């Protein structure tokens, strides 16, 4: 699976790019691996230059949590109505004011964001909420996911 995470930094080093990969990997935590290095223009910024971003929120919807993935997914043992969630997630697509879906204290000037694609996928007992947009507010995806869980928990 490729997540396409991008980072950038400025340096005056003349170390060849392929050596940067080795040097960085030798000094980073084992949970982080550099796979590629490229030289970019000085005005490039990994976060601000991105044309779109995708967030995945994973829910383990099994009776018992996973020991291995516990810190990477949210466990909800009550059976969720995935079909209702799939219908509801489509309402987030488009350009909207997401004021009600940001954490308090968020410093963004505008809460208007565009969600290009919003979908719910399943992989076994895992429910994956995936949102692609031009940007996200602080905790926006987590709050949207919580809203979709509320939809999935409703029995009517």
Distance CA 89, CA 117 (A): 9
Please provide the average confidence, as pLDDT, over all residues in the chain.
Answer: 90
Assign 18 a pLDDT band (cuts: 50, 70, 90). confident
pTM of the model: 0.80
Q: 45: closest CA among 7, 13, 11?
A: 7
pLDDT for res 106: 74
Q: Which helix (H) or strand (E) holds 27?
A: helix 17-27
Identify the pLDDT of residue 34.
87
Consecutive H or E run containing 75: strand 74-75
Task: Look at residue 1 and tell me whether its pLDDT is greater than 70.
Answer: no
- Tell me: the pLDDT tens digits for 83-118? 999 999 999 999 999 999 988 877 788 999 999 999
Q: What is the pLDDT of residue 156?
A: 61
**How big, in percent rounded to 5, are the helix, strand and coil portions of the chain?**
25, 20, 55
Spatial separation of the C-alpha atoms in residues 39 and 145, rounded to whole Å: 36
Domains in the chain and their CATH numbers? Answer: 1-50 (no CATH), 53-153 (3.30.70.660)
């Amino acid at each position: 699976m490729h997540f396409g995470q991008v980072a950038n930094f400025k340096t005056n080093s003349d170390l060849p790019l392929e050596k940067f990969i080795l040097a960085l990997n030798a000094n980073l935590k084992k949970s982080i691996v550099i796979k590629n290095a490229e030289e970019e223009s000085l005005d490039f910024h990994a976060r601000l230059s991105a044309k779109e971003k995708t967030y995945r929120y994973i829910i383990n919807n099994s009776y018992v949590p996973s020991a291995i993935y516990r810190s990477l997914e949210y466990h909800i043992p009550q059976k969720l109505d995935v079909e209702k969630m799939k219908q509801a997630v489509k309402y987030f697509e488009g350009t909207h004011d997401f004021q009600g879906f940001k954490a308090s204290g968020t410093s963004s000037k505008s809460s208007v964001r565009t969600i290009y694609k919003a979908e719910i996928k399943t992989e076994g007992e895992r429910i994956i909420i995936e949102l692609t947009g031009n940007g996200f507010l602080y905790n926006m995806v987590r709050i949207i996911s919580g809203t979709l869980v509320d939809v999935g928990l409703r029995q009517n």
